[in-house]
A and B are shown apart, each in its own frame.
Chain A
Amino acid sequence: MKKIKLSLRFSPHLTEKPITYHLIKDYDLVINILNAEINFNKAGKLTVEMEGTEENIDKGLRYLEQQGVKYKIFTKTIIWEEDKCVHCGACTAVCPSRALKMDQKDWSLSFDKSKCLVCELCIQACPINAMDMDFFL
């Protein structure tokens, strides 16, 4: 099994098609929607995690291409350098998915990587440069 994270862009005529339904049903993929901005008759954006066999992921991606959905596979990940962090919380002000949040009890920062959309807003917002970008592939 393989897991990838990708962002999808739908042109307006595609927003009425049940794309994720087909990815799940026809290609046996586990789709976890991390962020969605889809409005009928407007261009849409989806950030998803896709899990399945390598073969099915390839087929799924080809299906997306055939449908005209533009996609980008994330090759970057955000790294939280915890030893540098002072736990101020400035990054939580800009994190859209609440991957970065403060523990209400001990007021330490926590970072849930699986929720991260790699929007990179935290990198700039961190006053002490404790957030960094890592590349993989």
Chain B
Amino acid sequence: MSKKSFEEINEKIKQGKAVVVTADEIIDLVEEKGVKKVAQEVDVVTTATFSPMCSTGAFLNFGHTEVPIRMSKVWLNDVPAYAGLAAVDAFIGATELSESRGFDYGGAHVIQDLIDGKKVKLHATSYGTDCYPKKEVTTYITKEDINQAYLFNPRNAYQNYNAATNSSDKIIYTYMGTLLPDYGNITYCTSGQLSPLLNDPLLRTIGIGTRIFLAGTQGYISWEGTQHVLSVEKINQSTTQYSGATLAVIGNLKEMSTQFIRAATFEKYGITMFVGIGIPIPVIDEKMVEFLAVKDSDIYTQVIDYSYPKRSKPTIKKVNYQELRSGAIDLNNKKVPTAPLSSLKKAREIALLLKESIIKGEFLLQKPVQPLPDNNEFKPLNEREVE
């Protein structure tokens, strides 16, 4: 049984000898050559996703004005940012709405404008202190003239996600898009067989410190994502449904490109952000090849009825991604059209880009410094009476 270490693979990358394929490409390779041969021949498999990921935001350090201010309230293009940090630090969250333009402009748009190098209006107020006497500032900033601008996303790259439908007689507007009445459509949102955490479902190679492609630059996995649960459910003998694992990621916003990160608005729901993430998975052994050879037809998710405005929503059916990708599935003897919300075209572009930069020796693998937890619970918030 062949085993490879991160160090050996990195040595090959540096020498320009590494064999790198995408998670799409490895499927045919395994069918053609078998697991054993592929484990010997292939060194790295690239995975990717480009999906709306609400839990996105950026830390910014503006620098000090002459006559300094201890900013306590901050707005960027009229979008409130959180400034309860140090004097000139703030966090702008993607889903925050503009106070003047509502759903048309939000935190995600501020992040997009900053990445594009546009000037952004900074307005800050303060109560004034002895060392920070200034009480108000209004000016413009760009990513070039502020000290730090880094994306820090507490929950990205969901391992798997529900597909959504609507049994009610009214159109509903959700973070899964517009759902038409009477099971009029189904939406789904992962890149399936190309998706990072579905190719390393037990997180054998992905952990804290893993170097990733993040929105056009090299970023890192900084922690488990919020709501992270490493859960596995058997659908039948040969197929398994994974869900739950998530990642917190970090990267330099100044080096990002809006080719790979974009502000988005879901009608009557709110603002979010498409984030492009690519993760290289080292082929450390044959077991890894088995995971990496996963196909859309082996990956299951559940179709959930989003018309119930409750925590627990009914599951209508289990389906696999090949069925979802086919354009329509049977639901209660009716053919219901399916539509993606995650761009497979962009995900493929990212997987190819990552593959090329590894081949060129520009992207080295980073072994995790610590694995992500495998014993988390997914807890609800039970409301208690407050005295």
Q: Does A87 contact B (CB under 8 A)?
A: yes
Show 23 residue pairs from A and B whose CB-CB distance is below 8 angstroms, ordered by the A residue: A86-B262, A87-B344, A88-B51, A88-B346, A89-B341, A90-B177, A90-B187, A90-B340, A92-B340, A93-B180, A93-B185, A94-B180, A94-B185, A101-B327, A107-B345, A121-B178, A124-B178, A125-B178, A125-B267, A127-B266, A127-B274, A128-B264, A129-B265
Q: Does A67 contact B (CB under 8 A)?
A: no
Interface bits B228-268 vs A (CB < 8 Å: 1, else 0): 00000000000000000000000000000000001111110
Taken residue by residue from 298 to 341, chain B's Cβ proximity to chain A (1 for < 8 Å, 0 otherwise) reads as 00000000000000000000000000010100000000010111
* C-alpha spacing A84/B155, complex, angstroms: 26
When the two chains form their complex, are residues A88 and B265 in contact, meaning their CB atoms are under 8 A apart?
no
Majority SS of interface residues in chain B? strand
User: How distant is the Cα of A107 from the Cα of B345 in the complex, in angstroms?
Assistant: 5
Interface residues of A (CB under 8 A from B): 86-90, 92-94, 101-102, 104, 106-108, 121, 124-125, 127-129
Is A128's CB under 8 angstroms from B262's CB? yes
Contacts of B263 in A (CB 8 A): 128
Q: Which residue on B lies nearest to A106, using beta carbons?
A: B345
**Whole-angstrom CA separation of A127 from B95 in the bound complex:** 13
Contact assessment for B178 and A102 in the assembled complex, using a CB-CB cutoff below 8 Å: no
Contacts of A128 in B (CB 8 A): 262-265, 274
Further pairs besides A86-B274, A90-B340, A127-B264: 11, Cβ < 8 Å: A86-B262, A87-B345, A88-B274, A89-B341, A92-B340, A94-B177, A94-B178, A104-B325, A107-B345, A108-B345, A128-B265
Q: Which residues of A contact B327 (CB under 8 A)?
A: 101-102, 104
Whether, in the assembled complex, B216 has its beta carbon less than 8 Å from a beta carbon of chain A, the answer is: no
What is the CB-to-nearest-CB distance from B98 to chain A, in angstroms, rounded to a whole number?
Answer: 15
Residue contact B344 to A93, C-beta cutoff 8 Å: no
Chain B contact residues (Cβ within 8 angstroms of A): what range? Answer: 20 to 34
Is B348 in the interface zone, CB < 8 Å from A? yes
Tell which of A86, A94, A104, A124 touches B50, judged by Cβ atoms closer than 8 Å. Answer: A86
What is the count of residue pairs linking A and B with beta-carbon distances less than 8 angstroms? 79
How far apart sit A29 and B53, CA to CA, in the bound complex (Å)?
50
Contact of A92 with B343 in the complex, beta carbons under 8 Å: no
* A92-B339, A127-B52, A128-B264 given; A87·B346 CB < 8 A: yes
Hey, which chain A residues are within 8 Å of B178, CB to CB?
90, 93-94, 121, 124-125
Q: Which of B51, B267, B345 has the most CB of A within 10 A?
A: B345
A115 to B178, CA, bound (A): 21
Q: Nearest chain A CB to B183's CB is how many angstroms away?
A: 12
| Measured CA separation A125–B265 after assembly (Å) | 9
Q: Is the CB of B342 within 8 A of A93?
A: no
CB distance from B73 to the nearest CB of A (A): 29
Cα distance A86–B274 in the bound complex, in angstroms: 9
Find out whether the CB atom of A88 lies under 8 angstroms from the CB atom of B341. Answer: yes
Q: Which residues of B contact A93 (CB under 8 A)?
A: 177-180, 185, 187, 337, 339, 341
Chain B: CB-nearest residue to A94: B178
